[in-house]
């Protein structure tokens, strides 16, 4: 497969006289794709029922004539102002009960039937008009579901939809009372109509109530997306994508992804480092112009799983962004490195955001490939270099990794609903483990929580999975390799109760979590072999083999055969030992990489990425700052 580059473009932002020249420059730069349309509803339908497609017809024709392929976005993330008059109750409502207003974007409630019908109408018109257009080669539904905290809505609209969802799930209020444990604090309901949303209660609402509300809210996103995908598919054979985000767990991306051909995500490494990462001040300073060396890779692997192998970068940071606490300029070379890293993880395409920096409105401080005056910005030449390198580089394929890490969105909700310790965050835990694997130079596949086939993997990890699914438990029982489960895995029933017999209830492993404790960050638990447990630990009663023990005598890692249970959150030093030994048992070659140097193998090549601002010498090769080095693997 040919790997390609692209860019996000907004023809409606620029005089039409400029389009042809823009298109010619994109093609000359070596770009293949142009994503357009996703915020253009007010220009497509300026008044209800009055449609103006002419400009979009001409924009697509102009781009197509230059040899570019269009990704056409449905414009449903930005309903025009008149829409609010037609559906005043379509605005989402925040936790405090305040409606979220018009004047930016994503001002809608996923559960609103009237708005869904409007989306169905505009998507139908768009798909009918462009479904067979030869230049429209892919679609994008909406834009960044969940962005700006928009999945949870505490509106009357959501309340009614939630009650219906509960009635379908439980059939009777008695069954719901039993499942939630509503005898506690006299919370029994006699009718589904009595049930409220879990915000604005006096103290915490029942965690089972919250969990169902989170599942419901996720289902609303899935339904909203499916509606659009089904319409597009009736009119077009082109693949459909959505652009997901970094560190967003508000809905089940695997469930949305099941309705789409391609997963894509929007990668803003410097924004994420500043805005979305627990890391020391030193780490943030060291990588301030490069981004965290693992954050992008994690999402590449995650979205490869969400897309069942097919994934893109739909938006790639090209320079300073506008939305993080601090918005530095990337180190020269990073716009190239980030693209190559995505390709090494199997991306089909990388699209930069955006073509030209806008001189107006909210994102005027956000860089593009061009400055507002159309002169090239630094990333312009780096994109051109990647395009030339891609032309010379044979297809590198996507490697089958030997290490697998399970990722489960419902567990993110579970530990948000019931953290039990301020620092217990699901993403943080999984990402910490992922970083440990990457420090050892390992390529990782991320797996969905209902994965039934572990055969390709010598090492499987499932930290913090609240409820292990039946298929995964069966696959673990049959698995021949090494597995590392926990901490806090299989700790809840599907109804969000504590299972009895007590967790972790793993096939053939005689261990019981007798007690758990959470700890402030400055109260670590030292381990006998060095390193420590932080944030969270479990006290295990066990007759299994004890591999790691705390200085106070409580087991921390126990095993029967290849199946291991980890009873605490290891710090980096303990994690490195635990993972290195797991690799040795699994027969995996681990190489401890220097800080900031990362490796990822494709099917044919090993790639090294230098995230440091200094050159690094490794394996006899010196890689410059922000440099990429690749080398063919022995067949
Ligand atoms: C993304 C979004 C784009 C643009 C970009 C700026 O989250 O999809 O429309 O706002 O961020 O970095």
Residue whose entry in the numeric block shows the structure tokens 């869904």: 116
For residue 144, what are the contacts with CB-CB under 8 A and spacing of at least 6? 77, 106, 243, 244, 245, 266
Peptide bond into 126 cis (omega under 30): no
Confidence bin at 454 (pLDDT 50/70/90): very high
Average pLDDT over residues 314-323: 98
Q: Tokens for 617?
A: 């010498």
Distance (angstroms) between ligand 1 centre and the Cα of 84 equals: 23
Residue whose entry in the numeric block shows the structure tokens 């405090």: 96
Which residues line the pocket of ligand 1, CB cutoff 6 A?
143-144, 147, 266, 268, 315, 321, 323, 353, 363, 366
Distance (angstroms) between ligand 1 centre and the Cα of 594 equals: 33
Asked whether 77 and 266 are in contact (CB, 8 A), the reply is no
pLDDT at 303 over 80: yes
pLDDT digits (tens, 9 = 90+) for 503-546: 999 999 999 999 999 999 999 999 999 999 999 999 999 999 99
Active site residue 576: no
Asked whether 113 and 53 are in contact (CB, 8 A), the reply is no
Q: Compute the residue count for the chain.
A: 635
pLDDT at 395 over 90: no
**Ligand 1 pocket: which of 353, 364, 379 to mutate (most atoms within 8 A of CB):** 353
Closest CA to 557 of 461, 471, 472, 477: 461
Asked whether 283 and 258 are in contact (CB, 8 A), the reply is no
pLDDT at 422 over 90: yes
Widest CA span in the chain: 77
Residue whose entry in the numeric block shows the structure tokens 């996923």: 110
Average pLDDT over residues 561-573: 98
558-589: b or e for each residue (b if 16 or more CB lie within 10 Å)? bbbebbbbbbbbbbeebbbbbbbbbbeebebe
Residue whose entry in the numeric block shows the structure tokens 């009635």: 167
Average pLDDT over residues 120-128: 98
pLDDT digits (tens, 9 = 90+) for 571-625: 999 999 999 999 999 999 999 999 999 999 999 999 999 999 999 999 999 999 9
* Residue 99 per-residue DSSP state: B
pLDDT digits (tens, 9 = 90+) for 322-350: 999 999 999 999 999 999 999 999 999 99
Asked whether 351 and 36 are in contact (CB, 8 A), the reply is no
Closest CA to 399 of 265, 480, 307, 304: 304
**Ligand 1 pocket: which of 313, 335, 363 to mutate (most atoms within 8 A of CB):** 363
Peptide bond into 229 cis (omega under 30): no
Asked whether 486 and 566 are in contact (CB, 8 A), the reply is yes
| Interatomic CA distance for residues 509 and 582, integer angstroms | 17
Q: Residue 629: its pLDDT value, please? A: 97
Confidence bin at 318 (pLDDT 50/70/90): very high
- SS3 percent helix, strand, coil of the chain, rounded to 5, is 35, 20, 45
Distance (angstroms) between ligand 1 centre and the Cα of 245 equals: 9
Tell which atom from ligand 1 comes closest to the C-alpha of 243. Answer: 8
Looking at 45, 315, 382, 548, which residue is catalytic? 315
For residue 503, what are the contacts with CB-CB under 8 A and spacing of at least 6? 489, 490, 491, 512, 513
Active site residue 16: no
Distance (angstroms) between ligand 1 centre and the Cα of 147 equals: 9
Tell which atom from ligand 1 comes closest to the C-alpha of 147. Answer: 7
Q: Residue 201: its pLDDT value, please? A: 97
Q: Residue 68: its pLDDT value, please? A: 98
Give the distance, in angstroms, between the CA of residue 2 and the centroid of all CA atoms in the same chain.
25
pLDDT at 43 over 80: yes
All domains in the chain, ordered by first residue? 4-150+220-392 (3.20.20.80), 156-210 (no CATH), 403-586 (3.40.50.880), 597-632 (no CATH)
Q: Residue 394: its pLDDT value, please? A: 73
| Interatomic CA distance for residues 357 and 363, integer angstroms | 8
For the beta carbon of residue 64, count every other beta carbon within 10 angstroms.
18
Q: Residue 397: its pLDDT value, please? A: 87
For residue 327, what are the contacts with CB-CB under 8 A and spacing of at least 6? 270, 271, 274, 320, 321, 365
pLDDT digits (tens, 9 = 90+) for 126-169: 999 999 999 999 999 999 999 999 999 999 999 999 999 999 99
Q: Residue 531: its pLDDT value, please? A: 98
Q: Tokens for 146?
A: 């969940």
| Interatomic CA distance for residues 575 and 570, integer angstroms | 5
Distance (angstroms) between ligand 1 centre and the Cα of 143 equals: 9
319-345: b or e for each residue (b if 16 or more CB lie within 10 Å)? bbbeebeebbebbebbbbbbbbbbbbb
Asked whether 11 and 19 are in contact (CB, 8 A), the reply is yes
| Interatomic CA distance for residues 327 and 366, integer angstroms | 9
Average pLDDT over residues 87-110: 98
| Interatomic CA distance for residues 453 and 447, integer angstroms | 10
pLDDT digits (tens, 9 = 90+) for 184-227: 999 999 999 999 999 999 999 999 999 999 999 999 999 999 99
Residue 142, Ramachandran bin (φ over 0: left; ψ between -120 and 50: alpha; else beta): left
Asked whether 92 and 155 are in contact (CB, 8 A), the reply is yes
């Amino acid at each position: 497969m040919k790997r390609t580059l692209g860019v996000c473009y907004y023809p409606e932002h620029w005089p039409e006289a400029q389009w042809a020249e823009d298109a010619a420059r994109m093609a000359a730069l070596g770009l293949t794709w142009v994503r357009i349309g996703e915020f253009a509803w007010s220009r497509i339908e300026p008044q209800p029922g009055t449609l103006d497609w002419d400009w979009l017809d001409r924009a697509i024709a102009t781009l197509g004539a230059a040899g570019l392929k269009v990704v056409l976005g449905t414009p449903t993330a930005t309903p025009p102002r008149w829409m609010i008059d037609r559906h005043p109750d379509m605005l989402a409502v925040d936790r405090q009960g305040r409606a979220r207003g018009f004047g930016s974007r994503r001002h809608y409630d996923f559960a609103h039937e009237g708005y869904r019908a409007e989306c169905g109408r505009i998507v139908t018109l768009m798909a009918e008009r462009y479904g067979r257009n030869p230049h429209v080669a892919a679609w994008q539904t909406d834009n960044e579901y969940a962005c700006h905290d928009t999945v949870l809505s505490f509106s009357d609209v959501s309340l009614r939809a939630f009650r219906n969802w509960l009635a379908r799930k439980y059939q009777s209020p008695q069954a719901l009372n039993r499942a939630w444990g509503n005898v506690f604090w006299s919370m029994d309901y006699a009718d589904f109509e009595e049930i409220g949303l879990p915000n604005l209660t006096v103290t915490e609402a029942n965690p089972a109530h919250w969990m169902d509300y989170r599942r419901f809210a996720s289902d609303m996103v899935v339904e909203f997306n499916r509606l659009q995908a089904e319409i597009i598919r009736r009119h077009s054979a082109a693949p459909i994508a959505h652009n997901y985000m970094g560190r967003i767990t508000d809905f089940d991306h695997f469930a949305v992804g099941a309705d789409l051909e391609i997963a894509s995500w929007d990668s803003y490494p410097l924004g994420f480092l500043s805005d979305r990462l627990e890391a020391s001040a030193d780490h943030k300073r060291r990588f301030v112009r490069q981004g965290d060396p693992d954050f992008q890779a994690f999402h590449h692997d995650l979205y490869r799983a969400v897309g069942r192998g097919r994934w893109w970068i739909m938006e790639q940071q090209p320079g300073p962004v506008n939305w993080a606490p601090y918005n530095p300029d990337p180190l020269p070379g990073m716009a190239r490195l980030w693209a190559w890293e995505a390709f090494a993880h199997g991306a089909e395409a990388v699209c930069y955001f955006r073509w030209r920096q806008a001189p107006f409105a909210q994102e005027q401080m956000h860089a593009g490939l061009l400055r507002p005056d159309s002169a090239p910005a630094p990333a312009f030449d780096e994109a051109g270099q990647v395009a030339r390198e891609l032309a010379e580089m044979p297809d590198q394929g996507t490697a089958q990794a030997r290490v697998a890490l399970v990722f489960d969105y419902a567990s993110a909700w579970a530990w948000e609903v019931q953290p039990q310790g301020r620092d217990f965050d699901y993403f943080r835990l999984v990402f910490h483990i992922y970083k440990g694997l990457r420090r050892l130079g390992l390529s990782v596949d991320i797996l969905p929580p209902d994965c039934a086939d572990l055969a390709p993997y010598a090492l499987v990890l499932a930290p913090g999975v609240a409820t292990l699914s039946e298929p995964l438990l069966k696959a673990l029982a049959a698995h021949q390799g090494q597995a590392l489960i926990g901490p806090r895995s299989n700790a809840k029933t599907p109804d969000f109760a504590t299972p009895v017999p007590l967790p972790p209830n793993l096939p053939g492993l005689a261990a019981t979590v007798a007690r758990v404790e959470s700890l402030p960050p400055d109260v670590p638990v030292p381990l006998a072999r060095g390193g420590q447990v932080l944030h969270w630990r479990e006290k295990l009663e066990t007759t299994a083999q004890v591999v790691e023990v705390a200085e106070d005598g409580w087991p921390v890692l126990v095993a029967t055969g290849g199946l291991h249970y980890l009873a605490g959150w290891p710090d980096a030093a303990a994690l490195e030992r635990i993972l290195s030994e797991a690799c040795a048992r699994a027969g995996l070659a681990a190489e401890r990489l220097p800080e900031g140097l990362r490796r990822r193998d494709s099917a044919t090549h090993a790639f090294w990425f230098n995230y440091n601002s200094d050159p690094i010498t490794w394996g006899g090769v010196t890689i410059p700052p922000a440099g990429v080095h690749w080398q063919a693997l022995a067949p």
